[in-house]
């Protein structure tokens, strides 16, 4: 018999009048992977925070491993066996792997006498348990994102976690790293650990989850066995309406070549010999595995890493972007991948964040046109469905996915000549996703040349006119829309 690890009933939480949770209920059994899904702003992270003790719910019943919780705190929930892993790993980058793992199980003794050998052995044992080939002596900050995630899981194991919470763990993982994580999750399941699994990648749920609970507007809509619910029904429950077409790609008449890269290379970025053209109105998808050099390639074009060989032509004229400033002056826009870090200014209001890059459009002879700013910000936040009571609230009050929408709308608004999007819909819910695809098509119709990096093959296949597949820092092949398939892209990306 499975034991009930977590029981939450009618959890409520308001922030300054905003009801983040109205009535969230959830149950987790030992050895169960229970998915929690819902649109951006539905309340998933808020619910998780109530369980980890990061916030205090206003009301409701919370029971962890049979203990009724009246006053929660991070230390208390940890002592009951709760551990959480967030999309952005939360390790101490300057400390070694072994030290980070020790922080999970050593109590207070961190500044006392330390048995280094034992610490290292314990770290190795825990890493071995999850099949992670990572040295206990490595500096945490030097590890890749997926490796850091594994260290966090090892730390949770070391802390004897019974309840493991994974908040969008695969959002920026490659297929291979995702499969590896799933293997670790299955092992933990067999050990009786219960896991709450948050993801916007609905297609992965049948592979990994036992049950799924849908949150909408802070309320639990229902819980089902994963085998009894398909993707369409999940979406219907999440958005409460039928969703229009998934990839609304329209045929756009293409114009002249806008961007041309000739043998482009950057030693610093680790990319070489890149040849590619993008026409006005064209969307070129960039596919490849993590580490293939896709983001690095974008950084070289945008001047974040200097290109030291080859040439960039913009409308036939050779340009040099040694700094993002140059790229912006050349009307090239870049939406970086790591938007939670670089995409938004948390303390500024939503409206200013949206219009930040478009100040040129907005400033006239008499200074900034605030009415116009408000109007544009309102239009874009409405179209992307940013969930907020007011566009004058600061971005820090938004959910993760809604912050991403704000970062994205800023660049969509600049009407650039070339738009480079790095994982534009990562962490974004299904409804907003198709709206972002719509906006991309609109920009293409206005003659913008678009480069879209995406790890989601259905998105690459659905939205691109041509697909450049990268491997080992260069483009190995450019496929036409009608010849590209999931299988041939993957084969090229793997170097077959
Ligand atoms: N500190 C805060 N102040 C004000 N409002 C907040 C705060 N934190 C969250 N909210 C609001 O609570 C609601 C739920 O947010 P939450 O982060 O739980 O959503 P989520 O389901 O995790 O979404 P996502 O998929 O985008 O991560 C949102 O409307 C959000 O704007
Ligand atoms: Mg969230």
Q: Which atom of ligand 1 is nearest to the CA of 404?
A: 26
* Residue 204 DSSP symbol: G
What residues contact 7, with CB distance under 8 A and at least 6 apart? 26, 27, 28, 61, 62, 63
Q: Please name the residue whose Cα sits nearest to atom 25 of ligand 1.
A: 40
Tokens of 452: 């879209």
pLDDT by residue for the chain (496 residues), tens digit each?
A: 689 999 999 999 998 878 899 999 999 999 999 999 998 889 999 999 999 999 999 999 999 999 999 999 999 999 999 999 886 678 888 889 999 888 888 765 555 567 788 889 999 999 988 888 899 999 998 888 788 888 998 998 888 899 999 998 887 677 778 888 899 999 999 999 999 999 988 889 999 999 999 999 899 999 999 999 998 888 888 877 655 556 667 788 899 999 999 999 999 888 999 999 999 999 999 999 877 899 899 999 999 998 999 999 999 999 999 888 899 889 998 888 765 555 677 888 888 888 776 656 555 555 566 677 788 888 888 888 888 888 888 888 888 888 888 888 887 777 789 999 998 888 788 778 888 888 889 889 999 999 999 988 889 999 999 999 999 999 999 999 999 998 899 889 887 7
Q: Which atom of ligand 1 is nearest to the CA of 403?
A: 26
Ligand 1 neighbour 87 (Cβ under 6 A): no
* pLDDT at residue 409 in the model: 83
Q: Please name the residue whose Cα sits nearest to atom 4 of ligand 1.
A: 397
Ligand 1 center from residue 17 Cα (angstroms): 13
Give the chain's domains with CATH numbers.
4-239 (3.40.50.300), 257-493 (3.40.50.300)
Residue among 477, 353, 369, 347 nearest 412 (CA): 353
Ligand 2 center from residue 401 Cα (angstroms): 7
With vertex at residue 494, the alpha carbon angle to CA 441 and CA 176, rounded to the nearest 5 degrees, is 85
Ligand 1 neighbour 404 (Cβ under 6 A): no
The backbone region for 446, taken as left when phi is positive above 0, alpha when psi lies in -120 to 50, beta otherwise, is alpha
Q: Which atom of ligand 1 is nearest to the CA of 42?
A: 21
Ligand 1 neighbour 385 (Cβ under 6 A): no
Q: Please name the residue whose Cα sits nearest to atom 19 of ligand 1.
A: 41
What residues contact 84, with CB distance under 8 A and at least 6 apart? 48, 52, 164, 165, 166, 167
Whether the Cβ atoms of residue 57 and residue 21 lie closer than 8 Å to each other: yes
With vertex at residue 420, the alpha carbon angle to CA 419 and CA 425, rounded to the nearest 5 degrees, is 110
* pLDDT at residue 131 in the model: 83
Q: Please name the residue whose Cα sits nearest to atom 7 of ligand 1.
A: 397
Q: Which residues have CB atoms below 5 A from the ion given as ligand 2?
A: 45, 399-400
Q: Please name the residue whose Cα sits nearest to atom 12 of ligand 1.
A: 20
Ligand 1 center from residue 247 Cα (angstroms): 27
Ligand 2 center from residue 490 Cα (angstroms): 30
Pick the ligand that lies closest to the CA of residue 399. 1
Q: How many other C-beta atoms lie within 10 A of the C-beta of residue 341?
A: 9
Q: Which residue matches tokens 């450049």? A: 468
Ligand 1 neighbour 272 (Cβ under 6 A): no
Tokens of 156: 């949770």
Residue among 340, 362, 357, 297 nearest 427 (CA): 340
Ligand 1 center from residue 453 Cα (angstroms): 27
Q: Please name the residue whose Cα sits nearest to atom 28 of ligand 1.
A: 41
Ligand 2 center from residue 44 Cα (angstroms): 6
Pick the ligand that lies closest to the CA of residue 214. 1
Q: What whole-number distance in Å separates Cα of residue 158 and Cα of residue 289?
A: 31
Pairing of strands 367-368, 363-364: antiparallel
Task: Name the 3-class secondary structure at 311.
Answer: strand
Ligand 2 center from residue 291 Cα (angstroms): 26
Ligand 1 neighbour 424 (Cβ under 6 A): no
Pairing of strands 418-422, 449-453: parallel
* pLDDT at residue 490 in the model: 85
Whether the Cβ atoms of residue 420 and residue 301 lie closer than 8 Å to each other: yes
Q: Which atom of ligand 1 is nearest to the CA of 44?
A: 21
Ligand 1 neighbour 401 (Cβ under 6 A): yes
What residues contact 115, with CB distance under 8 A and at least 6 apart? none
* pLDDT at residue 108 in the model: 54
Pick the ligand that lies closest to the CA of residue 199. 1
Q: Which atom of ligand 1 is nearest to the CA of 402?
A: 26
* pLDDT at residue 236 in the model: 84
Q: What whole-number distance in Å separates Cα of residue 470 and Cα of residue 455?
A: 11
* pLDDT at residue 369 in the model: 67
Q: What whole-number distance in Å separates Cα of residue 394 and Cα of residue 351?
A: 9
Residue among 474, 465, 449 nearest 330 (CA): 449
* pLDDT at residue 171 in the model: 75
Ligand 1 neighbour 49 (Cβ under 6 A): no
Q: Which residue matches tokens 């049950």? A: 211
What residues contact 486, with CB distance under 8 A and at least 6 apart? 457, 458, 461
Ligand 1 neighbour 402 (Cβ under 6 A): yes
Ligand 1 neighbour 18 (Cβ under 6 A): yes
Ligand 1 center from residue 414 Cα (angstroms): 27
First to last CA, the chain: 47
């Amino acid at each position: 018999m499975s034991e009930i690890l977590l029981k939450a009933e009618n959890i409520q939480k308001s922030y300054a009048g905003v009801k983040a949770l109205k009535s969230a209920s959830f149950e987790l059994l030992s050895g169960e992977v229970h998915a929690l899904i819902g649109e951006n702003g539905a309340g998933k992270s808020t619910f998780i925070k109530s369980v980890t003790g990061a916030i205090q719910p206003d009301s409701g019943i919370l029971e962890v491993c049979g203990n009724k919780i009246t006053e929660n705190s991070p230390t208390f929930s940890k002592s009951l066996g709760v551990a959480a892993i967030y999309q952005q790993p939360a390790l101490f980058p300057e400390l070694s792997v072994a030290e980070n793992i020790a922080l999970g199980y050593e109590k207070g003794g961190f500044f006392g006498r330390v048995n280094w050998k034992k610490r290292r052995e314990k770290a190795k044992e825990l890493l071995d348990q999850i099949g992670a080939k990572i040295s206990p002596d490595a500096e945490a900050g030097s590890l890749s994102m997926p490796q850091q995630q594994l260290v966090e899981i090892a730390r949770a194991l070391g802390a004897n976690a019974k309840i493991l919470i994974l908040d969008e763990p695969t959002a920026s993982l490659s297929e291979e790293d995702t499969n590896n994580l799933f293997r670790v999750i299955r092992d933990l399941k067999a050990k009786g650990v219960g896991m709450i699994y948050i993801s916007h990648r609905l297609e992965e749920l049948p592979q990994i989850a036992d049950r799924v609970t849908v949150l909408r507007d802070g309320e639990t809509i229902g819980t089902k066995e994963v085998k009894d619910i398909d993707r369409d029904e999940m979406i219907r429950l999440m958005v409460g309406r039928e969703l229009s077409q998934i990839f609304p790609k329209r045929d756009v008449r293409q114009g002249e070549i806008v961007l041309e890269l000739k043998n482009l290379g950057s030693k610093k970025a680790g990319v070489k010999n890149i040849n590619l053209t993008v026409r006005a109105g064209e969307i070129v998808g960039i596919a490849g595995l993590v580490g293939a050099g896709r983001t690095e390639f974008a950084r070289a074009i945008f001047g974040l890493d200097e290109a030291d060989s080859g040439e960039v032509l913009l409308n036939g004229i050779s340009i040099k972007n040694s700094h993002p400033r140059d790229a912006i002056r050349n009307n090239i826009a870049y939406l970086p991948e790591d938007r939670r870090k670089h995409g938004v200014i948390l303390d500024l209001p939503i409206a200013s964040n949206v219009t930040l890059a478009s100040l040129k459009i907005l400033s006239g002879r008499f200074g900034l046109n605030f009415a116009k700013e408000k109007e544009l910000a309102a239009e874009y936040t409405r179209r992307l469905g940013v969930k907020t009571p007011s566009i004058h609230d600061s971005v820090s009050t938004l959910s993760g996915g809604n912050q991403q929408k704000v970062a994205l709308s800023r660049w969509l608004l600049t009407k650039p000549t070339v738009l480079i999007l790095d994982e534009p819909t990562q962490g974004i819910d299904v409804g907003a996703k198709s709206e972002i695809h719509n906006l991309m098509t609109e920009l293409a119709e206005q003659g913008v040349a678009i480069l879209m990096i995406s790890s989601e093959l259905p998105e690459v296949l659905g939205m691109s006119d041509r697909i450049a597949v990268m491997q080992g820092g260069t483009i190995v092949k450019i496929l036409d829309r009608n010849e590209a398939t999931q299988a041939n892209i993957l084969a090229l990306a793997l170097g077959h």
